[in-house]
């Protein structure tokens, strides 16, 4: 199954970026069935809730199920909308279906302001601080100083860190899910998946004084209908004074290199690197951001490292969101 999934992803990357569509539209459906979980305990479910922004239009939202109550909330620290549902302890069936239509655009920010205007770092303090698994001192700070030596502007530093990440990280298909993004461990063994690669970029950028943040989403299929249950993805946005937030995706550079068996000096690798510096494809929908997440309503367990997957608690026991079959969810895409 893992080999099949890798081949499906490979198909989506085998075309050069110039050949990709400029938009993608479809219906995303999240089906959750917690009925086989332990009975006799209250059950709570939190799902990242997609909303419209500059680059995606979310419409026709539908929520159905046999829950006792449900609502949409927002987490206080990151502003991520959350679909929450609750079942009482005597519930025999615990099902929910959440669907929405999305029209997603390709994002390309190519005209980056080279001359840096004055900007207030306090306005971006949230994107310059450490996280539980992303420190900005010690070895991370040393690395940041080394990469950005001689670089004066935020743009120069951000690009240098992007280049270093593309050249020194690599995609490890054995990584569970999208990876934990444990930056200190990744500096020892720089292999992982999208959250790992993005987290290293963000931590090093913040250590260098460059505001940066991870963005979490789900890939949209390229076929008419696809099961995208395990297609979660994480990329990066970096703030460039005078330009604004700029998307980058070094993780997809390394994924393309893996599935297409590319070397760093290959012409196609250079094409991917140029594309994903300031650009991202439309085959994704953004659903969340932030690390060390306290949900709303708050979960019983510890803050979530990331919130890109459905999260549920039976009593106070958290289900393993990396195992959708035992958890009881799937995510489907159908083009429109």
Q: How many CB atoms lie within 10 A of CB 206?
A: 25
- Per-residue pLDDT band for 5 (boundaries 50, 70, 90) equals very low
Give this prediction's pTM: 0.93
**pLDDT for res 21:** 87
**pLDDT for res 18:** 76
Segment 138-164 mean pLDDT = 98
User: What is the rounded distance in angstroms from the CA atom of residue 9 to the CA atom of residue 7?
Assistant: 5
User: What is the rounded distance in angstroms from the CA atom of residue 144 to the CA atom of residue 158?
Assistant: 10
Nearest 10 degrees: CA dihedral of 13, 58, 228, 259?
10
- Identical fold for domains 25-105+294-335 and 107-281, yes or no, is no
38-81 per-position pLDDT tens digit: 999 999 999 999 999 999 999 999 999 999 999 999 999 999 99
Q: How many CB atoms lie within 10 A of CB 126?
A: 11
Asked whether the predicted pLDDT for residue 12 surpasses 60, the reply is no
Asked whether the predicted pLDDT for residue 329 surpasses 70, the reply is yes
Nearest CA to 166 out of 299, 238, 106, 255 is that of 255
**pLDDT for res 34:** 98
Residue 92 and residue 263 in contact, taking contact as beta carbons nearer than 8 Å: no
User: What is the rounded distance in angstroms from the CA atom of residue 37 to the CA atom of residue 334?
Assistant: 28
Please state which architecture CATH assigns to domain 25-105+294-335: Sandwich (2.60)
| 7-21, 144-158, 300-314, range with the lowest pLDDT | 7-21
Nearest CA to 147 out of 209, 196, 199 is that of 209
187-198 per-position pLDDT tens digit: 999 999 999 999
Segment 278-307 mean pLDDT = 97
User: What is the rounded distance in angstroms from the CA atom of residue 41 to the CA atom of residue 37?
Assistant: 10
Asked whether the predicted pLDDT for residue 10 surpasses 80, the reply is no
User: What is the rounded distance in angstroms from the CA atom of residue 189 to the CA atom of residue 316?
Assistant: 34
User: What is the rounded distance in angstroms from the CA atom of residue 318 to the CA atom of residue 178?
Assistant: 18
Pairing mode, strands 95-105 and 23-33: antiparallel
Which position has the token pair 């993005």? 198
**pLDDT for res 125:** 97
**Domain at 107-281, CATH class:** alpha beta
**pLDDT for res 107:** 97
Asked whether the predicted pLDDT for residue 324 surpasses 80, the reply is yes
> Domain extents for the chain?
25-105+294-335, 107-281
- Per-residue pLDDT band for 13 (boundaries 50, 70, 90) equals low
229-261 per-position pLDDT tens digit: 999 999 999 999 999 999 999 999 999 999 999
User: What is the rounded distance in angstroms from the CA atom of residue 112 to the CA atom of residue 157?
Assistant: 13
267's enclosing H/E stretch is helix 267-276
Segment 141-161 mean pLDDT = 98
Asked whether the predicted pLDDT for residue 6 surpasses 80, the reply is no
**pLDDT for res 15:** 67
Asked whether the predicted pLDDT for residue 171 surpasses 70, the reply is yes
Work out the percent of the chain whose per-residue pLDDT is above 90. 93
Asked whether the predicted pLDDT for residue 185 surpasses 80, the reply is yes
Residue 10 and residue 260 in contact, taking contact as beta carbons nearer than 8 Å: yes
**pLDDT for res 14:** 59
Task: Kindly state the tokens that stand for 190.
Answer: 């720089």
Segment 208-226 mean pLDDT = 97
């Amino acid at each position: 199954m893992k080999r099949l999934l890798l081949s499906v992803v490979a198909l989506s990357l085998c075309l050069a970026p110039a050949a990709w569509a400029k938009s993608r539209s479809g219906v995303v459906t999240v089906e959750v069935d917690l009925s086989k979980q332990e009975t006799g305990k209250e059950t709570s479910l939190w799902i990242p809730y997609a909303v419209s922004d500059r680059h995606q239009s979310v419409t026709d939202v539908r929520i159905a199920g046999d829950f006792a109550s449900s609502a949409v909330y927002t987490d206080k620290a990151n502003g991520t909308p959350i679909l929450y549902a609750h079942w009482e302890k005597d519930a025999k069936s615990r099902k929910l279906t959440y669907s929405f239509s999305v029209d997603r655009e390709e994002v390309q920010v190519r005209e980056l302001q080279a001359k840096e205007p004055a900007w207030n770092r306090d306005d971006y303090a949230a994107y310059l601080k450490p996280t539980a698994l992303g420190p900005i001192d010690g070895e991370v700070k040393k690395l940041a100083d080394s990469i950005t030596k001689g670089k004066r502007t935020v743009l120069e530093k951000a690009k240098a860190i992007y280049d270093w990440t593309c050249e020194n990280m690599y995609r490890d298909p054995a990584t569970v899910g999208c990876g934990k993004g444990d930056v200190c461990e990744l500096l020892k063994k720089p292999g992982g998946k999208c959250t790992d690669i993005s987290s290293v970029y963000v931590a090093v950028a913040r250590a260098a004084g460059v505001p940066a943040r991870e963005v979490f989403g789900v890939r949209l299929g390229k076929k008419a209908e696809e099961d995208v249950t395990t297609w979660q993805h994480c990329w990066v946005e970096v703030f460039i004074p005078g330009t604004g937030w700029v998307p980058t995706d070094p993780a997809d550079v390394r994924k393309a290199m893996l599935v297409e068996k590319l070397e760093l000096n290959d012409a196609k690798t250079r094409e991917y690197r140029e594309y994903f510096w300031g650009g991202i494809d439309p085959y994704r929908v953004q659903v969340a951001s932030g690390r060390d997440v306290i949900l709303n309503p708050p979960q019983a367990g510890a803050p979530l490292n990331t919130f890109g997957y459905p999260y549920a608690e039976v009593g106070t026991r958290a289900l393993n969101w990396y195992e959708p079959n035992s958890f009881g969810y799937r995510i489907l895409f159908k083009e429109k």
